[in-house]
Amino acid sequence: MFPHRHLLGIEGLSPADITTLLDLAETYATANRGSTAPEPVLKGLTQINMFFEASTRTQASFELAGKRLGADVMNMAMQASSLSKGETLIDTALTLNAMHPDLIVVRHPQSGAVNLLASKVNCAVLNAGDGRHEHPTQALLDALTIRRRKGRLHRLTVAICGDIAHSRVARSNMILLGLMENRVRLVGPKTLMPSGLDQMVAETTDDMREGLKDADVVMMLRLQRERMDGGFIPSEREYYHRFGLDAEKLAYARPDAIVMHPGPMNRGVEIDGLLADDINHSVIQEQVEMGVAVRMAAMDLLARTLREARDA
Ligand code: NCD
């Protein structure tokens, strides 16, 4: 049904895998709004959250997702761990592995670190964001939000705007939206466009009017300064003027366009604060809500694979 041991990226998933996961997440979204608790499908399993990089919503939502499904959840404070004493990622992984966890959720500042870790442990690993590489559960929660709001997840025009070069959110979304046969446009200053785009199907422009034309979905990104070494933009004021989304620029898109942002948001830099709160367009809170449902679904599916492997 979901033939994967880990969830390391959108790369490697099929359209059928994505649909399976989103359909299951939809049932959890319904359960989360109601008063009846879902089946504790993770009961007896141990989930360890290892966040080597700051996170608010992703970590909270993985923790809540695990607890709602009955897992024993442990958050490791990675800043305080042996890593700061010089232990390598591999040694940390092997130490944890010896404690027999079932699910490990990892966020790491280096691209590829989560894949490396997954190759050293026996349990299921979920990537909660690695460098500028992938952030699969973010793309899946975005997809679920789009599907709920637009009634479909194909043949939509999606404009992803801002700091594309440093964004694992953009990368995972580009792959997912492409797989589901949508039209993806990347909009941002040339200095913030990734190199080697040719392998990915996307149009690029540094003009918001052109980029947002007829868009069904406008996805805004934060300027990820922690991954920039040097000045990529002249000033925040200038950036907001050209690329910041406000009502005026949103008017280039379709009248029923939805506005998305993975958070954390910098109001007045990439997005106007009023627009971010405008429930006629903004679905930012629904993205957060879907985050819990998607992570419940992802861990449920991986736990099934885990149990099948152990029973075999
Ligand atoms: C994103 C991330 O960490 O990649 N945030 C998130 O997970 N909601 C985007 C960002 O940091 O700008």
* Residue in the structure block whose two tokens are 């699910």: 103
Stated pTM of the model: 0.96
CATH number of this structure's domain 6-133+288-307: 3.40.50.1370
The length of the chain is: 312
Predicted pLDDT at 81: 64
What positions carry a catalytic annotation?
Answer: 57-58, 85, 107, 135
Torsions phi, psi of 158, nearest 5?
A: -115, 120
Among the atoms of ligand 1, which is closest to the Cα of residue 224?
12
Upstream peptide bond of 234 is cis (omega within 30 degrees of 0): no
Average pLDDT over every residue of 134-159 = 98
Domain 6-133+288-307 shares a fold with domain 136-287: yes
Domain ranges across the chain: 6-133+288-307, 136-287
182 alpha carbon to ligand 1 midpoint, in Å?
A: 22
Torsions phi, psi of 12, nearest 5?
A: 105, -15
Predicted pLDDT at 10: 98
DSSP 65-134: HHHHTT-EEEEE-GGGSGGGGT--HHHHHHHHHTT--SEEEEEESSTTHHHHHHTT-SSEEEEEEETTTB
Residues with CB under 6 A from ligand 1: 57-58, 129, 135, 138, 168-169, 222, 224, 262-263
Ligand 1: residue of 134, 138, 261 to mutate (most ligand atoms within 8 A of CB) is 138
169 alpha carbon to ligand 1 midpoint, in Å?
A: 7
Q: Which residues does residue 104 pair with via DSSP β-bridges, in sequence order?
A: 48, 125
DSSP 225-283: GGG--S--SS-HHHHHHHH-B-HHHHTTS-TT-EEE--S---BTTTB-HHHHT-TTTB-
Among the atoms of ligand 1, which is closest to the Cα of residue 128?
7
CATH number of this structure's domain 136-287: 3.40.50.1370
Residue 241 CA to residue 208 CA, distance in Å, equals 11
Residue 262 in this model has a pLDDT that exceeds 70: yes
Give residue-wise pLDDT tens across range 224-260: 888 887 788 889 999 999 999 999 999 999 999 999 9
Q: Which residues are annotated as a binding site for L-aspartate?
A: 85, 168, 222
Strand order in the sheet with 157-161: 203-205, 183-187, 157-161, 217-220, 258-260
